[in-house]
Chain A
Amino acid sequence: MNRHRVFRLALIVWLATGATAASALAQQDLRIFGYFQNTFQYERPEDATKSTSFLLQHLNMLFQKELSKTWSTYINIEFTNSFSASQSWGTASVQEAWALYRYDNRFSLKLGLQIPTFNNLNEIKNRTPLLPYIIRPVVYESSLEEVISLEQYVPNRAFVQAYGFLPFRRTKFDYAVYLGNSPNINSDPAEGQTGVDTTDTFLGGARFGIRHGELKAGISTTYDKSNFLHQIAEAVGGGNQAGREIARFRLGADLSYRWRDFFGEFEFIKVIYDDRGADVDLDLSFHYFMLGYDFSDRFLVYLGYQETREEAFFRFMQPGIVGSVLEANERLKLEIPYAGFAYRISDRLTAKVQGAQVGTKYTNTEGSYTPDNYYYAIALSAWF
């Protein structure tokens, strides 16, 4: 009898505890939030007609759920450039869908599609409410993704990342290491499953940084192998490069600092293709700096400069034609001084104004082309 009572009591306690735990988890509801940025832009190209346009530059829908004390999940769906499937405007993409395991500040593990850690701006490049910019430093400007191959400069996707920081007195040493796909992703349904890596190589990357008070600095690197020469060789009818993969190194450095009401940030990126074959030379570099001042809790101004350089040289032997060589030699330099201000209307609304001059210097074997474009924009950024 007593044993039965004890058993029933234990059963009740067990059921009650389980129910409480289940209900505690259920109480942590799915959170749906997000942000968007609408702009009005005026573009005055030197060699083309002026244009004005309204644009929904960004809309990001975020979903988050805490699964337990140590696990959480997060999804980030992004729409750019007034996305409309029926009109073929803009892009829609799942930027992130990951599960996070937090052990402690020294170790967290993020599993699933994610934007990897690279320099200071990469992870927050699309968080428009956090940025004073309307047009971000160009290699981070995802609304230009249809025009510029941004992924050459910064890694946009990884699938496994370990990160954390080690404190020493008031200084924190950050680390992040990650793994993802090589850039050789199939986009053609005729070739089979899309979105999958077609080679057996990986993207590997890391950032090591330091934080001390308002100083943040770090160095970043990635390594992967690209078979883009295969596609170029096919396009131009060359044959000797087909199938060859070229190693690519991205190197980055970042520094940001805040002193009283002044703030500033600087980044540098160098992309090196291992061109020991001497018939390919492809190097990219990018740097920017920004200096700003908080006039008040609500109003800030900034100015900056960014520069992008691309140098590309290819030489292909045409198969079947002895001595026939296809050659490309191109250089591109973009110099962009910019300035702007932002006014925080409320906790969730910010108005932004920005102007930039885009100086282009393009040179190839036939000559050069150096137009200047002027760009002005106002924007309303909101999060909800």
Chain B
Amino acid sequence: MRARSAPGFLAFLLLAGLALAGSSRAQVAVIANKQVNEDSIDRSRLLDFYTGDIRRWNGGTPVVAFDLKEKGETRDTFFAFVGKSSSRMRTIWLKRMLAGEGDPPEALDSEEIMLKKVAETPGAIGFVSSDRVNDSVKVLVTIDKED
């Protein structure tokens, strides 16, 4: 009886381990238009792009930041990475807009549209789940969802 159940238990552990490993690998990629002349980005610069404090890439191209409309794991992970809750970001954007300093990032309906818009728009930056990334965009940084 014991001998027969042990392989089943081990298989269960193996599957559970794989599932856990799979979830820990789930990542969000910060993506940019391929013409952007920067290959990586740190948290504070990313935050500056999304708050509108910095409006141009190093080469002088205007930054066009995109956001996602729907709340979800990808969006939450991204804003947790930059160190602001989505409600705090909303307040920052509203302040800039009402002061005439600029608009909030355009909020898109889905990650597929995000990927397409970033690929098509010079100076664009956005974020999608890592498994959606293709070679139409460049990845500046990858965020572990545990970060």
Q: Which residues in A have some Cβ–Cβ distance to B below 8 Å?
A: 33, 35, 62, 64, 69, 72, 74, 76, 96, 98, 100, 102, 104-105, 123-124, 127, 129-130, 165, 167, 170, 172, 213, 258, 297, 347, 383
- Inter-chain contacts of A74 with B (CB < 8 A): 100
B54 touches A105 (CB 8 A): yes
Residue pair A102, B98 in contact (C-beta under 8 Å): no
Question: Can you list 17 A-B pairs with a CB-CB distance of less than 8 A?
Answer: A62-B98, A62-B100, A64-B100, A76-B100, A102-B55, A104-B56, A105-B48, A127-B99, A129-B98, A130-B95, A165-B53, A170-B44, A258-B88, A297-B85, A297-B87, A347-B90, A383-B94
The 0/1 profile, CB within 8 Å of A marked 1, for residues 47-71 of chain B is 0100001111000001000000000
A276 to B135, CA, bound (A): 73
Chain B neighbourhood of A170, CB < 8 A: 44
What's the count of A-B pairs with C-beta under 8 Å? Answer: 45
B91 CB-CB contact with A under 8 Å: yes
| B77-127 interface (Cβ within 8 A of A) | 83, 85-88, 90-91, 94-95, 97-101
Given contacts A62-B100, A76-B100, 20 further A-B contacts (CB under 8 A): A35-B98, A62-B98, A64-B100, A69-B62, A72-B100, A96-B100, A102-B55, A104-B55, A123-B99, A124-B98, A124-B99, A127-B98, A127-B99, A130-B91, A130-B94, A130-B98, A165-B53, A170-B44, A172-B53, A383-B98
- Contact check, A127 vs B54: say whether CB atoms are below 8 A apart: no
Question: How many B residues touch the partner, as a band?
Answer: 20 to 34
Interface residue ranges, B against A (CB under 8 Å): 44, 48, 53-56, 62, 83, 85-88, 90-91, 94-95, 97-101
Q: Sorted from nearest, which 7 A-B pairs have the closest CB atoms?
A: A74-B100, A297-B87, A127-B98, A170-B44, A105-B54, A64-B100, A130-B95
Docked-complex contact B100 and A105, CB < 8 angstroms: no
A213 near B53 (CB under 8 angstroms)? Answer: no
For B54, the closest partner residue in chain A by CB is A105
Bound-complex Cα distance A100 to B96 (A): 14
The closest CB in chain B to the CB of A261 belongs to: B85
- B56 near A213 (CB under 8 angstroms)? no
Is B100 in contact with A124, judged by CB distance below 8 angstroms? no
Q: Which residue of A lies closest to B95 (CB)?
A: A130
Nearest-neighbor residue (CB-CB) of A171 within chain B: B44
Q: Using Cβ atoms and an 8 Å threshold, which residues of chain B touch A347?
A: 90
Report the minimum CB–CB distance from B75 to chain A (whole Å).
13
CB-CB under 8 A from B91, the residues of chain A are 130
**Nearest CB of chain B from residue A174's CB, rounded to whole Å:** 10
